[in-house]
Structure 1
Amino acid sequence: MKKLILFALMSTLLFGEGYKEFAKEMSYETNYETALNKAKKENKNLMVLIISNFCPWCTKFEKKTLTDKTVDGALKSKYIPLIINKEEGNFPSYLTAPVVPTVFFVKTNEEKVFHESVGFSSKAEFLNLLKQLK
């Protein structure tokens, strides 16, 4: 029984930190205030991805959609990307996501959501969304 509990704890730690590796590889911010300040400096809006531990759709969205070079280029040309694990907190209450993954597009100067997308999106769907939000 102790081994099972230890395995569960280790899995939580490993899976819970996986998004930070993704963020580092993709140059996503993981801190709201840092991302907000960067967005203001660069005159861009925020794209905030809310994920959680053990979310297969979050991982699929990261690996199948967001790592695509075309998606990444289109996203970073207009937005500062921020990824937040909702189980860790440390983000404003207006970014509450009952379902993950949820993507919020935020007007930086107002700190106000202007579009919300819930669930997995394919490359084509997400690129189409980015084009629509111009």
Structure 2
Amino acid sequence: MRYIVILIIYITVSFGSSDDNLTIHHNYRKALESAKEKNRPLFILFTKDGCRWCDRLKDNLMSVDELKSGLKSQFIVLFLNRDRDSYPKKFKIDAVPTVFMVSPKEEIFTEILGYHSKPRDYTKWFNYVKIEMEE
């Protein structure tokens, strides 16, 4: 049953659908264009197939209201598969999940390795990026 729920969430997210207006991109160039148009930073989550920590992080991002609203209001969200999707080489992904928060000019604000279970950790990073974007 758990695998069915994860599969449904993955399929919903994989097709760039929106969940309560949270659009999730799966193409780096298109997400970057959107970030430039809206002057918003990118929130890039790198995952790989079969990564349970990646699935947990996706679930938290989509189900914890505090995180979801922060992503909706502040970022262009991009989920990429480390092994299948194309992205710039400057993102060196040795472990997954890995999150990058990147300016519309492709300046890396922060890189977050691994799964962090506390939503507060992410809201701190969201606030840091917000301050950086204002400068």
Say yes or no: TM over 0.5.
yes
Aligned residue pairs total: 119
Shift of 1:18: 6.6
Aligned-partner Cα distance in 2 for 1:101–1:62: 9
What TM-score, normalized by structure 1, do the two folds share? 0.78
Shift of 1:25: 4.5
Alignment partner, residue 8 of structure 1 = none
Structure 1 residue runs of 4 or more that deviate by more than 3 Å after TM superposition: 17-20
Aligned-partner Cα distance in 2 for 1:20–1:48: 18
Aligned-partner Cα distance in 1 for 2:85–2:104: 20
Aligned-partner Cα distance in 1 for 2:9–2:121: 24
Aligned-partner Cα distance in 2 for 1:94–1:56: 25
SS at match of 1:91: coil
SS at match of 1:93: coil
Alignment partner, residue 111 of structure 2 = 116
What TM-score, normalized by structure 2, do the two folds share? 0.77
Shift of 1:131: 2.1
What are structure 1's unaligned runs of at least 5 residues? 1-14
Identity of aligned residues (%): 27
Q: For residues 83-102 of structure 1, what are the structure 2 equivalents within 5 Å?
A: 83-102=79-98
Alignment partner, residue 6 of structure 1 = none
What are structure 2's unaligned runs of at least 5 residues? 1-6, 131-135
Between 30-39 and 114-123, report the one with greater CA deviation.
Answer: 114-123
